[in-house]
Structure formats: C-alpha cells, structure tokens
Amino acid sequence: MHSLTRPTLLHAVLEKRQWLRFEVFQRQLANAGSRAAEHYRNPRLASVSVTKLTFKRWLGGEQEPRGDAATVLEFWLGHTVKELLGPAPMRKMVLARVPHDASLAAAHSLDVRFDSSHLSVAGPMPGAGGIWHLDGLRMLDGTSVAVQMYEAEPRGDTVVIGPEDREHLRYFTHARRRAVIIAALGAHGADDLYVIDAAHARRQLLMPIDRLPIPVAYQLDPLVYALLWAAFNVDDSLLADDQALHVEQQHLEAHLAQSRSAAARAAYPDLTNVGAAWLGSHASASYLRRHLDTASAPPQLWSRVQYGGQAAGWLLFTERHQVLQLMQECSAGTEGTAGCVFCVPESAVKNSEPYERILLLLALALMESYGLTVHVCTEQAYSNSAEFILAPQRLAVVADWLSPDAVWHVDSTTSRSEINALTHALDHARSHSVTSARTPHERLRQAANYLECDWDWLVVRCQEVGTYGISGLLQLRSHLIQPRGIERALSFVGESASA
C-alpha cells in the first residue's frame, strides 16, 4: 500500500461522523463488532480491536484491514475495504447517516421476500446511494433504480425522515435520474420499509420544511412492490425504445390497411420485450377501432393474459384503456353486458409470485370497472388461444399482441362457422369459470381466492394507497403509458370495503 496525496475515504467518512479520535473509533468499532457478530452469527467478530498505530495506517491507506477486521469495517461503514482505503472524492462529500442494523436487515430481506429484487443500499461512490435491480422475469426486461435508505420515525399516518438527513436528501434528489427513497424504522424496533419517488421528494424539499413525510400507505409490501416492479420495468424499457418506436409507428399504416396482418418478433430484434408488446398493443388497438363499431350485442373479449408482466400492459398502456372504452361504447343500448374471459391454468398460478398475481387481479378489477363481466377459466387447453373480440352473431376480430412469436396478429371475419367456434369457446369458458357471482366485487373475491391473494387485506391496502394516489410513489416518464389504469383499479378494489 502507498500513502495517498489526499485523504482516504475511510478518513473522510470518520471525519464527517466525528469518529476520527482513536478513543471514539475504538468504541464505535467495538459496537460494530458486537452487531456484526450477531448478524453473521460469528462471536469472534465481537472481539475485533485495533492498535493506535494500525488505526493511523488504515487512515493513511498504508495498511489494509484483513480477516475479521475487514468484515466488521465493511458491515459497519457499508463500503468495501478497497473503497475505504482508496482516495476520497475531490468534491465535497455529503454523507447519509449509517442505517440501523435492523434497517439493513429489513432491506436485505426484500431479496428473500421478492424473487425479482436485488437491493444494494450502498454504492461504490460515497453519498450517492445504492442500486435496486428489478428483474423482469418472463415478459419484462429488468431495470435498475438508484436508491437511498434513511432512518425515519413514525408520526401519525406518516413516517418522517428528520432534519439531520435534509442535506443529503437534497443532494441525492438533485439529479433528474430515476431514483427512490426508502425510509426504515429499524431504530424504532420495526422492520417495515416505506418508499417514495425521489422526484416527488425533490418537489417537497423545495418548500420550507425540515422533515420529509412519507405516507404509511406507501409501505413496501407485496402491493406496493407489484406497482413499482411493473411501472419501473415498463417505463424504463419504453424510454429505451422511444426513438425506435416512433419510427416503427410511421410504418404501421400500410400493415393495418390490410384485412389481416402479422409481424414476427424476429423482425424487431432491437426492441425490448416491453417495446415489442407496446407496438403490438398499439397495432391491435388501431385495427380494432377500424373494424369494431356499434354492435347489436355486447362485445366479448378473450384475453391471453396469465402473468403479472402481461397484466402490466393492461394497467399501463394507453391503448389498452382505449380498447376498454371502445367495448363500453359498443355495449351502449344493447341488451346484456360486455365480458372478458381470462384463461389462467393452475400451473400459471403456481409459477407466479404473490405480487404478480396481485397485478393480474388488478387487471381484472380494471375491466370490471369498465362494466365488463370477468370470467376466469382454468383449462390448460385454452391457455394459448389468441386474443380476440367477438361481436356476437356478426363479427370476430383477432387482435393479438401477447404472442411469444409475433409482435401482433390481427384479422377479422364474418364467417358464421368461425364465429360459432369462437362463441362455443367463450360459452364453455364462462360456464366453467371460477368467477360466477352476480356482482363485480364478489367475482373479484372469487378470482382472488383462485389466485391465492388475500382479498380482505388487498381491499384495505388498495383503499389506503388509492386515497393518497400513486403520484408520490412512482413518477411515470414515458408518454406512451399513464397511471390512470392503476389508479382506477385501486379505487375499484378499495370500493369493496363499503360495497
């Protein structure tokens, strides 16, 4: 090791926290060793100590901590030994407080609770926060979000990050990147975590306040995680594809002018999975608007959505809401009600995480909110059927945007035999549906039971989050999506509490 021309990161961190005096450092190191011993279940770590001479060599970057000492330092200060003994940044450092051990443990537990979560609350650049990677699982592409965790205290219906973190909050939220803030209550004996979008926090910090409140409704549980996972994945993928999607939209007219059209996924190798799904959704919705007009009977939709990533499209894509509005308009003045059939076999339920199934249930709620009667059949044989809309006795329109092999597949027919075959499939699925109740909320409860979601808990949580809205929780940046579907679904489920 060689002496540095400017202070080490270790020196800068300890100076910032007023732990540079050897006697103070000794006490803090002993406390950290005790906590590390309990955390790692290694009693040897509790006896870690250092001489004054070695301490000075560490500060100067002349000697590298090893073994148990290195383990305790990294656990305590949140940086690797290599980072600590390297030079401190030349810019002024703005450091957040070291989170409580219980808060760190709660953050680590996220990766156990949610299989697509990979959270590191400390990054290599001091003061810049950590990284939260959200894997995309089946359909989504995966994304990474900057994250910073702060200690907070409960206060009524909020948790509050105090004035001691104001300087770092301003520093962390200054950049216009995608970022979230996690508030922890470890110092107060609780393992709950709460989340807020950094852009929302930045606007609040422009006001003359010395504390940042976060609604307790934004507790990081399966519902909130589901919304963040879906929205961040979809939003970031569409932003990555923004220019490419703009170009491809210009070429759609020639395809949609044909009576039938299909585009292979292989023809769009540069698009993300989400970008390809959006383009297919856009093409399918445009085709539907051209071919589905006022019907003599309410239209019936067959959806191939089975997983949370697919449901995210219905909740977020602007065109999906236009399809629901179109079905609602086509139903006006007709007898009966429009409907939607989902085929979700038991294998899809077993292979989905709880937060994925919550997204699927919210998609069902969104459709019910537009007056569609939702049916869920479970037969595996129907699971690969293309998405279509049937205007009974008159017209069938295939408008598929979720095929694994095609970006879109659109077609229409007035053939009596083809319409009869699709009608038979719809009738069979509805007669074997797990949702057979007369009211929308009872049908959703039955769907929740099948999807193994706690309906009573979800109703309360949707009501809580819906009351505050989701603008503070997540900020959508792509113009191709909107939060209205999520907000409408949350509100509809929450209404069940008073239904």
Three-state SS for 210-269 is CCEEEEHHHECCHHHHHHHHHHHHHHHHHHHCHHHHHHHHHCHHHHHCCCCEEEEHHHCC
Give this prediction's pTM.
0.83
CA distances, 161 to each of 155, 200, 201, 225 (Å): 10, 14, 11, 21
The reported pLDDT for the residue numbered 391 is 85
Residue 128 has pLDDT above 50, yes or no: yes
How far apart CA 209 and CA 229 sit, in angstroms, is: 30
Residue 32 has pLDDT above 80, yes or no: yes
Instruction: Read off the pLDDT of residues 236-284 as tens digits, 9 standing for 90 and up.
Output: 999 999 999 999 988 888 888 888 999 999 999 999 999 999 999 999 9
How far apart CA 105 and CA 113 sit, in angstroms, is: 12
The reported pLDDT for the residue numbered 127 is 56
How far apart CA 320 and CA 363 sit, in angstroms, is: 11
Tokens 């193994």 correspond to what residue?
452
Residue 295 has pLDDT above 80, yes or no: no
Mean pLDDT score of the chain: 90
The pLDDT-based confidence of 3 (bands split at 50, 70, 90) is: very low
Percent of the chain with pLDDT over 70: 95
Mean pLDDT throughout 27-53? 91
Instruction: Read off the pLDDT of residues 67-77 as tens digits, 9 standing for 90 and up.
Output: 999 999 988 88
Residue 4 has pLDDT above 60, yes or no: no
How far apart CA 142 and CA 139 sit, in angstroms, is: 9
How far apart CA 328 and CA 322 sit, in angstroms, is: 10
The pLDDT-based confidence of 47 (bands split at 50, 70, 90) is: very high
